[in-house]
Amino acid sequence: MANEYRFVRIACIGLLNPDDTLKQFIPLYVKVHGEMSPEQQKHIAEISGELIRQHEKQLIEYFEELRKEQIT
């Protein structure tokens, strides 16, 4: 049981083409051994939040494009 682990997705990164269109969406994971402590959960939430803040504009543009594609 000591070797049990799982992966927790903390963020996603979008790779862009030269024309700034989305090329590929890549999830980022951390490897977690056993149960996460409240402190570990807090750190993962902080990291996720910071990544979202840093890439907020790209995320908004991506979801707007995705919504436009679904409408048409």
Structure tokens at 71: 């409408």
Q: What secondary structure does DSSP assign to the chain, as a single string?
A: -TT-EEEEEEEEEEEE-TTS-EEEEEEEEEEEESSPPHHHHHHHHHHHHHHHHHTHHHHHHHHHHHHHHHH-
Q: Are 16 and 41 in contact (CB under 8 A)?
A: no
Tens digits of residue pLDDT in 58-69: 778 878 888 888
Tens digits of residue pLDDT in 1-54: 456 888 888 777 777 788 877 778 788 888 888 888 899 889 888 888 887 788
pTM summary value:
0.50
* Count of domains for the chain: 1
> Which residue segment(s) compose the domain that 47 sits in?
5-71
